[in-house]
Amino acid sequence: MTYKLSQILKELNIDFHGNDIDIDGIHTLSEATSSQLSFFTDSKYISELSSTHAAAVFIDEKYAKLLPASTIALVTDEAYLKLALASKFFAHKITTKGTPPNVGEGCDIDKLVHFGDNVTLGNNVTVMSGCYIGDNVKIASHTLLFPNVTLYHDTKLGERCIIHAGTVIGCDGYGFAHTKQGEHVKIYQNGNVLIEDDVEIGANCTVDRAVFGTTYIRKGSKLDNLIQIGHNCDIGEHTLLAAQVGLAGSTIMDRNVVMGGQSASAGHLHIGAFSVIAGKGGVTKSLEGGKTYAGFPAIEHRTWLKMQAKIAGLLKRKK
């Protein structure tokens, strides 16, 4: 989908003077191409303004001069809201119609499976009753979907994956901009989900699609039941997540992270390789790899144990 910049800005009530270029999407400052829009709302990304390749950027007037000469400044004091409104232009068109998939050899597909358009299945894929496979989905060979799995449009599954019953992959992330009057405006989630080879996901999990770009679950990772993965997360190779783990958007994990039951992370954090988060641990800041953490906020496990012993001692003395 391509739109003239003037067409988009007319809907957004932004004045426009300059070349009326074609726009085919939205991305971050660092990833946007010369045919995409971007936005600037957080000063921690100020260093990316001068190097962005975006065609145009929603930006406050005081920062507009920091953009390259090749990038059009779309001056507004509501950059995030304008991003949300613009995202609707590039949303996937939802339809109930579908066409037969391109199916490899040896597949076993229940008759009560619904396919969208342009679905591709590798060899020896098994899809059980009640599954929905959306537009442009690709499923590699030897992958198994148990009943009532839902794969939203543009989802990619690797080889030898197992997805258990009731899991939803590629649903919208929880993203809204807010008006000055306190109304909530949907940011259309126009990215996708990529699940690499040898991943197993338990029953009734949800993996949100990216706002733009991709939500990743890297090869060899194993997810228990009832897990929530937020948009734009990147789950490193061979990670283990126990039941009821919840990851807020843009959590980045290196390989072989282990998270115990009901542990969680705030968004936009980095968890280093071979970290262990004990059950009910709450990650509120980025964590160094190779260590074990516990508590809320999560701290090193030994420190947490000493703190608990101190508290217990204080309570005993009060008695």
Residues 313, 307 contacting (CB under 8 angstroms) = no
> Annotated catalytic, 231?
yes
Residues linked to residue 102 through DSSP beta bridges, in sequence order: 120
* Residues 294, 277: Cα–Cα separation, whole Å: 6
SS3 letters across 123-155: CCCEECCCCEECCCCEECCCCEECCCCEECCCC
Q: Does residue 66 contact residue 49 with C-beta atoms inside 8 Å?
A: yes
Assess contact for 53 and 73: CB atoms under 8 A.
Answer: no
Catalytic residue among 27, 142, 153, 231: 231
Backbone φ, ψ for residue 156 (5° rounding) = -125, 125
What is the distance between the alpha carbons of residues 85 and 298, in angstroms, rounded to a whole number? 37
Pairing type for strands 228-229 and 132-133 reads: unpaired
Pull the structure tokens for residue 229: 């993965």
Question: Using an 8 Å Cβ cutoff, are 122 and 159 in contact?
Answer: yes
Neighbours of 19 (CB within 10 A): 10
How far is the C-alpha of 227 from the C-alpha of 242, rounded, in Å? 8
Q: Cα(54)–Cα(72) distance, rounded to whole angstroms?
A: 8
Per-residue buried b or exposed e for 39-67, using 16+ beta carbons within 10 Å of the residue's own CB? bbeeeeeeebbeebbbbbbbbeeebbebb
Which positions are catalytic?
A: 231
